[in-house]
Chains A and B, each alone.
Chain A
Amino acid sequence: MLCLLVEPLLNYAQTVAPPDTTIASSMNRALSEVIVVGYGAQSKNAVVGAVTSIKAAGIKDRPVASFDQQLQGRAPGVQVSANTGVPGDGIFFRIRGTTSINAGNDPLYVVDGVFINNQSLQKVTTQGQANNPLADINPADIESISILKDATATAIYGARAANGVVLITTKRGTYNSRPKVGFNTYAGVAWAPELWELVTGPEHATIINEAWVNDGKPFATRPFRPKSEGGRGLPEEQPTYDRLHDIFRTGAIQNYDLSLSGGNEKTRYYLSGGYNKQLADIKTNDYQRASLKVNLDQQINDRVRVGTSNSLSRSRRTNARVGDGPQGGILQAALHTPTYLPKFNDDGTYAKWAGFDNLDVLIKYTDMHSISTRYIGNLYAEADILRKLKFRTSWSLDYNDYDEYEYWNSYTNRGSASKGLATSSVSKNIVWVNEQTLSYRTSPGQKHTLGVLVGNSIQGNIAQQTFAQGTNFPSDAYKQIASAATTTASSNRAENRQVSFFSRVEYNYEGKYLAEVNFRADASSKFGTDKQWGYFPSLGVAWRAKEERFLQAVDVISDLKIRANYGLTGNQNGIGNFASRGLWGGGSNYLDNPGTIPQQLANPELGWETTRQWNLGLDLGLINDRISIEFNWYDKYTSDLLLNLPLPVSSGFRTIASNSGEISNKGFELGINTTNIRSRNFIWQTGFNIARNINRIEKLNIPIDASYSVERMAQGYPMHSFYVYRQLYVDSKTGDAVYEDVNKDGKITAADRQMTGQATPKFFGGLNNNVSYKGFDLTVFFNFQWGNKVYNSNRFFHESGGTRDDRRAINKNQLNRWQKPGDVTDVPRITTIGNNYALNPVSRFLEDGSFLRLSSLTLGYTVPALIAKRIHASNIRFYVSSTNLWLLKKYKGPDPEVNVTSDPNVQGYDLGTPPQPRTVQFGLNLTL
């Protein structure tokens, strides 16, 4: 939402912004820097709120599909975590912690004034994961990203802003400049640096026989005895099949971006086209995106300007079921099928084991894809009504069509009984926004500066889906539902709307004392008539102490600003469109006649969830800003939590949408940027950031278990806390696991589960070093998190002590089991009897998920300008770059940055999740 002020400032920003090839740290602050804020832009000096501004050029080292993943470790207080290593898959993104249980925790994303949807439209399941809709945006078109964090920065977005706001500004042309052509490309490879370690066939057989004997059953009838005795053959006769290396491959990535920008006196333009293709390191996933961008601005006369931003993209994903659940689960089939079991039956047909598909079948025949077609556009007009009074109107649209198809042929489990199964789902999501703003800015007598902005906004969101499924195909050659003998279809549609009014008043005295008041009123159709309106004010002040006489003489301090603010923001994202009403729904049919059932209980009192936030900040520049420090302390408190409150199910309802519960987030963020060496030929800059967020559920009447029932939300504990049976030790005399008997009743029951650690890190951040010497540049970027736990559910299945016999693979760690008195280990005696391997979840599988990752390493060389000129280029740079080159972790799985599901209330649950790939790519940046 670039209001009137922003255009001239942006022009300025672009002239001072470093070209793509410089190595200036993204976090480096220049005093003259201009920051995009809500409905406007401000000079860095005038910013009262906590805003992190990031130049996109500084974070492009990671060849990932979406900008949100590129932000990992880059912005203090912003926690970014990829759910899987599959390109274009979901990202966990939190600004200053989790504030809500059911109303959504993602920030508001605004691209050139368009409120965009970031909720996945995926309906055809890949077993827990979901696509990331932000991958539809080509990161190459992004000029800068502003992350608004505190109340002053966000309150103008009121009802949408409790989780922060991410403002994306895309590239625009420059008035009065000659056409500039940019061409950027890279290509490289991706592979999995580490995989799981499974036992051999003979080891598997040994374990199972051991369980048999330990269970007290006769040795003579052990499962792995000679075939002549009716057994499965002796352990040493068992073969070993390595399915994991069948499914992982060397992936390939390539990217091309071509852009043209420029302008004359009255017109400026930016045109670009991009193509990105990523063949994942795990079969059969790949990702392709083609994108087009057109940004235009036209001055009609001295007083009136119009302009437009448009991006059109098409993302095609070839999917696979890599998550939870056996059917069609390609990674599960590879990871969990016991290694001794053959790929083929005696008669040569594909063998299928333990509910899993045959892996060869899945590799060959998995046929799932989705195509996201996305238009994000904005049209604005602005006029100077008076010299200082400006009016702006803008219309925005985010149109997303998500077209999915899957076909399971007769070799697959999903398709075998049904003689082929095909699903088509077409989802549409439309977000439209219309906004008007009036702004006035004046500086009477040069000492006072006053800015006033008022505006209104109306918006709507329409989501609809058409779904069709076919079974019973003539043969595997027919793949479209038109050929199916049995078909079903369905459709659904939902809509919500919002009306808002907002205002901002800024005042500063001599650039020394600054104050800013924001106010927004929002009404949402999701709430009952009397509860529709929510009011969200904020007040912020700042003091630029450096402007005071007593500091002006202190040379070592080049800047000092102290900020404080307080305000309210709201949230209503995640709840249903009609959450406050008592509803009956259809579709519960009987004997092919329509049936209806009660669906939800009314709560006419349902209203907004509100977050209040304090922020205290300090900006300090030392030695001519060679060292610049940004520090924020914040205290957020969310009340009237929109919660699906559990009801006694004897009422017939499981939950009711209610305003119940409170969550606090307190923490600090520290960013330090230094220019360690700056000489004519040699520059070395360092950027470091670290954040700590303490999350606590302050009030929750009833503990609520998250999906998978391993994490529990409970009063007095942070979100994403694990709730497990705690294994104290393995008795070295008996080999039995000893669990903590919390209530001392002599039995291990559900009452003995306890809160044990959390999935969110205690500290997280990044460390960046840029070095340039003559034409060479080197960037080394680490990101880290510390203090978080991961539930390794693969181990739960892989170390099941013989209880899963021929149904699950066994891992190497199972071999460390207790075998004889005196053995000291945490892997209990193998048996299917008793609690050694029957309880779930247990702390044995709860592991330290801290890590330090060499996220990216880039070495570039810029051809000297004189040589470049000979081929009419203004800039030529070659580089080689690698991501995830090194990973320090304690976690027993390949990668602790995993999550089985896109469900936001589940974090750090690892089950058949593809790890982050390691990549190496070569690239070229060319500007003509």
Chain B
Amino acid sequence: MRLSIYLLAGISLLTSSCKKFLDVQPEQQVDASEAITNLGSAETAVNGLYNLLGSDAYYGSNFPALSYLSGGDIQWTGSQSAPQQIANRQLTADNGNVASSWAAIYRTILSANYIIDAIPKLSDPLFSQTKKDQLTGEAYFVRALSYFDLARGWGGVQLILTPTRLPGDHTGIKRSSLEETYQQVLSDLNKAAELLPLTTNRNRATRKTAWALKARYFLYREQTDSADVYATKIISDAANYQLLKPYSAFFAGNVVATAESVFEIGYSVSFKNGHYNWWLPPALGGRREWAPNAQLVSLLNDPTVGGNRNALIGQTAPPGNLWYGKLYYRTPTGTDPAYLIRIAELYLIRAEARAKNGQLTEALQDLNAVRDRAGIAPGTADTKEAILLAIEQERRLEFAFEGDRWFDLVRTGRVAAVLGVTDRNRYVFPIPADELLADKALDPNPGY
């Protein structure tokens, strides 16, 4: 009897000390349930959200590259086959860059979903309602932008609006239509505009940032009146937003967050942007995986067309004499901002909206504001069609390395005429092949 008591005591001691011995806690992570619990952790989660928005695979480089490489003005000059496919518009569904962008956008959405879900429920006395609204509003804005990018890149997509806590949380969801996807963007933008403060911040979303994105949204949706209204809200805020002269003033000389920027992702030592690596030649510390092609170089170098926008390009020493893009150039600090919305775009949005509304003079005024800043003579187009064509040409050079060209041509339906892409299936990127394998509910984009 006594023996068995000792034995039992011994065994229970052993098992309890075993349990303790095996209880090892992480020192670099926290459990998801403890991630957003108060003001401080909510703020860090929103910082993390911007970090995801600016990650390499999203606005850091991959996502804008999908557009500018597809746009016909950038040539592939490297060794990797993924950008080769994009630049030659020979995309296959297993393209690595397409897959990584798709994944990065949904990762951003996940983080936004967590924040939108968690913050309103918190009862930290130090966490004011205003601050809660601001942080939640930022998450709504980022989610709106993310779905907007999915919509223009891939068409209608699966709408995931709550955080994933268990693997099965979002299984079996079909793709929404393009219309529904855009409706979600608008709904999030409205929510963001409602919650965000009316302040100026070029690195984080404010109500003004939401208005600027709305202007772009309505242009894509061909709701030109609304596009005009929201573009005007920003343009008229001249105390905060201006077209800087010369063109290079918004990026050269290591400047950041200039009055040109409505929204840019900021980078620092603790969050670097590797975009320069793809553009700069080896002598300047990059690998020049791609470069402006001869046509773009000659346009930018034409003083009557490119004007002072030739600051975007440089040439290596002989005997190489290779042209390269230098919008992203800050090595090794990696502090080149990702330019998401610039005031120049709002001028061109409004110009296009007004031209389409028949306000040709006003349209030309906005166009010429951008031309003037670039140091070129005012445009003289006098018909709606001619003005729209001039705007398209202006956007081509103004945003040459900013991921606008392809989306712009697809949006206006000019991609067949300009790039000879007649297969409408090719106006969107392929749904990544691996995703189709992992998700039976996900339908492919036809033609890939």
Contacts and interface: CB of A to CB of B under 8 A. Distances in A.
Interface of A: 326-327, 336, 342, 345-347, 349, 351-357, 413-414, 416-418, 421, 458, 471, 486, 488, 492-499, 523-525, 529, 532, 577-578, 581-586, 588-599, 601-603, 646-654, 656, 658, 702-703, 705, 709, 749-751, 753, 797, 803-804, 807-808, 835, 838-840
- The B contact surface, by secondary structure, is loop
17 contacts: A352-B283, A355-B287, A421-B332, A498-B22, A582-B32, A584-B32, A584-B35, A589-B268, A589-B271, A590-B266, A595-B47, A597-B45, A598-B114, A602-B166, A652-B109, A654-B103, A838-B88
B270 A651 contact: no
Contacts of B102: 649
Given A590-B271, A596-B48, A653-B164, A583 B283 contact: no
Nearest to A464: B27
A438 to B, nearest CB: 16
Interface residues of B, number: 95
B94 A753 contact: yes
B438 A593 contact: no
A703 B437 CA distance: 7
Contact of B111 (A592, A646, A652): A652
Contacts of A808: 79
A589 B270 contact: yes
B181 to A, nearest CB: 13
Contacts, number: 261
A751 B430 CA distance: 12
Interface string B45-58: 11111111010000
Nearest to A655: B438
A702 B434 CA distance: 9
Contacts of B441: 648
A751 B284 CA distance: 40
B47 A591 contact: yes
B198 interface: no
Contacts of B106: 649-652
Nearest to B329: A417
A813 B280 CA distance: 32
Contacts of A601: 164-167
Nearest to B318: A346
A499 B15 CA distance: 10
Nearest to A714: B437
Contact of A838 (B84, B170, B288): B84
A417 B32 CA distance: 40
A232 to B, nearest CB: 8
B443 interface: no
A354 B29 contact: no
B369 interface: no
Interface string B345-365: 000000000000000000000
A807 B171 CA distance: 45
Contacts of A584: 29-32, 34-35, 45
Of B28, B88, B109, B288, the most chain A CB neighbours within 10 A belong to B28
B107 A493 contact: no
Contacts of A578: 26, 29
3 A-B pairs with the lowest CB-CB distances in the bound complex, closest first:
A652-B110, A417-B285, A595-B47
Nearest to A597: B48
Contact of A345 (B22, B169, B171, B317): B317
B81 A497 contact: no
B44 interface: yes
B310 interface: no
Nearest to A582: B32
Given A589-B47, A590-B47, A651 B164 contact: yes
B113 interface: yes
Nearest to A349: B317
Nearest to B285: A417
A497 B22 CA distance: 6
B85 A595 contact: no
A650 B439 CA distance: 9
Nearest to B330: A417
B3 interface: no
B113 A591 contact: no
A497 B21 CA distance: 7
Interface string B147-168: 0000000000110100111110
Contacts of B27: 493-494
Of A498, A593, A838, the most chain B CB neighbours within 10 A belong to A593
B110 A651 contact: yes
Interface of B: 18-19, 21-24, 26-35, 41, 43-52, 54, 77-79, 81, 84-85, 88, 90, 92-94, 96, 102-103, 106-107, 109-111, 113-114, 157-158, 160, 163-167, 169-171, 173, 203, 266, 268-271, 280-289, 317-320, 331-333, 430, 432-435, 437-439, 441-442, 448
Contacts of B41: 596
Contacts of B437: 646, 702-703
B22 A648 contact: no
B18 A590 contact: no
Contact of B78 (A355, A357, A705): A355
Contact of B283 (A416, A532, A598): A416
B285 A596 contact: no
A416 B280 CA distance: 12
B315 to A, nearest CB: 13
Contacts of A840: 81
Given A749-B92, A808-B79, A648 B319 contact: no
Contacts of B85: 838
A700 B11 CA distance: 41
Contact of B170 (A458, A495, A650, A709): A650
Nearest to A416: B285
A581 B31 CA distance: 7
Contacts of B280: 417
A486 B320 CA distance: 32
B435 A648 contact: yes
A802 to B, nearest CB: 13
Contacts of B35: 584, 596, 598
A750 B93 contact: yes
A336 B287 CA distance: 14
Nearest to A355: B287
A377 to B, nearest CB: 23
Contacts of A594: 44, 47
Contacts of A603: 167
A413 B49 CA distance: 32
B318 A345 contact: yes
A797 B78 CA distance: 11
Given A351-B320, A598-B114, A413 B282 contact: yes
Contacts of B45: 584, 595-597
A808 B289 CA distance: 12
Contacts of B438: 646-649, 702
Contacts of B19: 529
Nearest to B110: A652
A336 B80 CA distance: 13
A588 B29 contact: no
Nearest to B51: A588
Contacts of A807: 77-79
Contact of B31 (A349, A353, A583, A588): A583
Contacts of A753: 94
A603 B331 CA distance: 41
Contacts of B283: 352, 416
Nearest to A413: B282
Contacts of B169: 651
B166 to A, nearest CB: 7
Nearest to B77: A807
Contact of A355 (B24, B289, B448): B289
Contacts of A486: 269, 333
A499 B170 contact: no
A749 to B, nearest CB: 6
Given A345-B318, A416-B283, A595 B164 contact: no
B79 A355 contact: yes
B327 to A, nearest CB: 16
Nearest to B80: A840
